[in-house]
Structure 1
Amino acid sequence: MTLDRRQLLRNSALIGASVAFSPSLLAQTATEPPARYPDEAWQVLDDRFKPYYVFNTPLERHWSAGLWLEGPAWNAVGRYAVFSDIPRARQMRWDEMTGRVSVLREGVGHSNGNAFDHHGRLVACEHSPARVVRYEWDGTTTVLASRFQGKPLNAPNDLVILPNDGVIFTDPGYGAHVDYEGEKRPLEVKPAIYYVDDTLEAPKLLSDELGKPNGIALSGDKRRLYVSDTAPSHFPDRPATVSRWALSQDGQSLSNRETVVSSQDSETYDGITLDQDDNLWAAVSGGEGHDGVSIFAPNGDRIGRILLPEVCANLCFVGEHRNRLLMTASRSIYTLYTGTRGV
């Protein structure tokens, strides 16, 4: 019997479909034992958290080959997130559509926090050399900040982008304490929070009140700035906190500081982000039962947790609706769909 081209294509499609939907092949993809919903990662501590908890979403681990992962930033146009593997001095790329992780850049000065400005350019905090840099569309790099009052910065850590593309960044100095995440050297300036933009030759000091200003986030209305303080790493008598300031319209001054969260247990708050209802989502280290994410209502009450098997360093909302939380946790990256959206 002779088959014409149309019959051949139709038969090939049917064969392909039978293979694609073969029960035996589907069974081979189920390599992990089934887990019952809701995922054990969720921990609802207060009824106020219930709208943000999704019953039938799993905690997904996408990749686990980093050394110390940090600084995720979402690119909505490309549908990917950039994050840092600090000890390897690499910027990594997670593609939401394929789930693949690849190296975006190598030799990036032990970069930590990342953010995209309103022109789609990546801005990054680097530990060594200690600076804040912007990657331009033509492939060049612009150094936005490297010195304060003639002295080198400590090791810029995390940052936010303002509506005018000005940058506020933290400089606690962790990349200068050990060679593993930068270059070990004495700190020459006090840990602080700075503002910089293209019109300034040097960053402008906003605050040096915190012991180790670390994670940073901007409210949805751009009028309030949140910064975590990981002071216990070097000042055991001081608690880990998250502070909130009123931010001036030009972004160049802070006022009316208040402590939103103060740790009464072993938790330390690192990277932070906010959702559309002004709830604070904080990356946490603190041991089993604490590691992961703590969620705080606007008044500072802890209302929920997301428990991870690793210390969580940073996080951001990703995806088409910005309702998927991406977490950089020690050697791995995780995602979890939520009932809210990032600002």
Structure 2
Amino acid sequence: MMIQLRNITKIYPNGFEAIKSLNLSVQKGDIMGIIGYSGAGKSTLIRLINRLESPSTGDIFVDGIDMVNLKEHALQKMRQKIGMIFQHFNLLASRNVFGNVAFGLEIAKWKKRDIAARVEELLDLVGLSDKANFYPEQLSGGQKQRVAIARALANYPQILLCDEATSALDTKTTKSILGLIADIQQKLGLTIVLITHQMEVVREICNKMCVMSNGEIVERGNVEQVFAIPKHAVTQELLSFLPALSSEEILKQNNKEVYKILFVGRYIHDPLISEVIKKFHININILAGNIEALSTTKIGHLFVSFSGEEYRVKEAIHYLEQKGLIVEKI
């Protein structure tokens, strides 16, 4: 087991109980998503793993090492095995990209030529080889987070902790950063613990997940199990806010031609799909769909694939269009 927390509690001097008798195991190579609303205790939990916070009671083991009883020097050494990236990047404004990535290596007393080689390797890994001399103010949010990821990987860590690493980014940049993290995990065999309040982040790259509420883990398991049969009310609520899959994600998951059907207004509750199947003797496989309630009406999006004789499929699409639906091949 790469990370193991046993009977952990965290009570602050003012009496606030941030973590309540919590147990957590993360296996080597897992991408563990820990999700919950603000105040659930997620950030406290991740800071306990690398001992930026000390537990009030309980045991913390990282790669078999007892983190709670380590002396300061040994703790600093262990922290070099644990990279961490943050929501707001935490870059040094006075240092360029090269200097920010090199910072941890300088503290670890690496030789200058070794630092230069390692920084060059890391910038290539995160796709920023041409930005070595840029300063943080010259970078986009996504580029800043790529610098932060390179910095977190500098000392060859075995574990990467991500504290709301994408919540300050737009949707497109978030997907790019999550793709980079997943790619790095595959290449380097990292164990990743990812704190988020965005269920789509868990869906995108995690294989295991925990749901936190009021300092406790209220649900845990493989991502597909929790998504399929959410048991706790908090999990069910978080899943209800999950955005629909994008066209790109649906195409990625299917090797057939995919069509997007747009329903507006009065057609949204009509059984048009079953009607078309019977009328034109074709099959329609529903891949994804959702209904959005606007202030004036409702819009339904349905992603489907058709199968059957080509002329019948064309007739079916034409029929749907005559009914006022928009049918678009994607």
Is the shorter-chain TM-score for this pair beyond 0.5, marking a shared fold? no
Q: Which has the higher strand share?
A: 1
Structure with the greater relative contact order (CA < 8 A, sep ≥ 6): 1 or 2? 2
Q: Which has the higher helix share?
A: 2
